[in-house]
Copies of this chain bind each other. A is one copy, B any other.
Amino acid sequence: MKIFRFPFSIAYSDTDAGGIVYHGRYIEIAERARMEMMRGIELPVDDIGFVVRELSIKYMHPLRLAADIIVETEMVKVGAASMDLQQKFVHDDTICAIMNITVAYIGADMRAKRIPNAVLSHLDSTKEG
């Protein structure tokens, strides 16, 4: 699978009084990276789309205000109706945090549904940014 690279700059709203990026903010930044990765995919219009089932994140090095980071997203496993992705927060060639996330695809009837081929073919062809 290809790696999708998403650049992001740390603003005040991302930080907390400890002087570093708030631990909950990584989740939001990761979502922006996945959104950009999915850009241009046309999904069946009535489907709910992807929802997050579970995630885990390990914080290795703190990130600070004005840091320019890259979020590297990689698909690690594709199931019938869900997929696992790994997202790395990289700053100055150092991996500062690693997140693993499972998202499920939900159809118009609110039930899990096979991931559309448009998604899989798009992600296979995602160019390194």
Are B32 and A9 in contact, CB atoms less than 8 angstroms apart? yes
User: What total of chain A residues lie within 8 Å of the partner, measured CB to CB?
Assistant: 33
* Interface members, chain A 43-94 (any B CB < 8 Å): 48, 51-59, 64-66
Known: A35-B9, A57-B55. Is A24-B28 also a contact (CB below 8 A)? Answer: yes
Q: Is the interface of A mostly helix, strand, loop or mixed?
A: mixed
- Are the C-beta atoms of B57 and A17 separated by less than 8 Å? no
Query: Contact: B23 with A52, CB < 8 Å?
Result: yes
| CB-nearest residue of chain B to A27 | B24
Given A24-B24, A27-B24, A27-B27; A35-B11 close (CB under 8 Å): yes
Task: Give Cα distance in the complex from A59 to B27, angstroms.
Answer: 14
